[in-house]
Amino acid sequence: MSTLFTQIIDGDIPADIVYRDDQVIAFKDINPAAPTHLLIVPVKEIPTVNDIAEADEALVGHMFTVAAKLAKESGIAEDGYRLIINCNRDGGQEVFHLHLHLMGGRPMGPMVVRQ
Ligand code: AMP
């Protein structure tokens, strides 16, 4: 059973795709938490950060260079932005296909809610 994001990559589920190459895809988050909220997703199905292997290090680095390029193209690079990867239950992960959130377009506030 492919992940939700693989179904987007394969074109089986629609998404607002802003970038794709042979390693990653990026599309708008369906429930944006900021004026710019993109998800950068590897084509390879890696469930969580815990599953990143040494062989994936270049791929994960590529996710970040794509995020920086998209931040620049979105006009938020200079003001700044936030990159987030959630992992498992306590991290608040909902989709178990690795993805990098790129959020900006307003001050992003405190990093986490302190309890
Ligand atoms: P996470 O909680 O880190 O796993 O984030 C999952 C993100 O995927 C959430 O911000 C959702 O709004 C987003 N999302 C879920 N389904 C879709 C979809 N079909 N298209 C775009 N974004 C989605």
In a domain, 45, yes or no: yes
Q: What is the 3-state secondary structure (H, E, C) of the chain?
A: CCCHHHHHHCCCCCCCEEEECCCEEEEECCCCCCCEEEEEEECCCCCCHHHCCHHHHHHHHHHHHHHHHHHHHCCCCCCCEEEECCCHHHHCCCCCCCCEEEEECCCCCCCCCCC
pLDDT of the residue at 91: 97
In a domain, 114, yes or no: no
How many domains does the structure of the chain reveal? Answer: 1
In a domain, 115, yes or no: no
State the distance from the centre of ligand 1 to the C-alpha of 88, rounded, in angstroms.
14
pLDDT of the residue at 107: 98
Instruction: Give per-residue pLDDT as tens, 15-40.
Output: 999 999 999 999 999 999 999 999 99
Given a cut of 90, whether residue 113 has pLDDT beyond it is no
pTM, two decimals, is 0.98
In ligand 1, the atom with minimum distance to the C-alpha of 96 is 4
In a domain, 21, yes or no: yes
33: domain CATH number? Answer: 3.30.428.10
In a domain, 32, yes or no: yes
Pocket of ligand 1 (CB under 6 A): 4, 13, 15, 27, 29-31, 39, 86, 92-95
The range of the structural domain enclosing residue 47 comes to 4-104
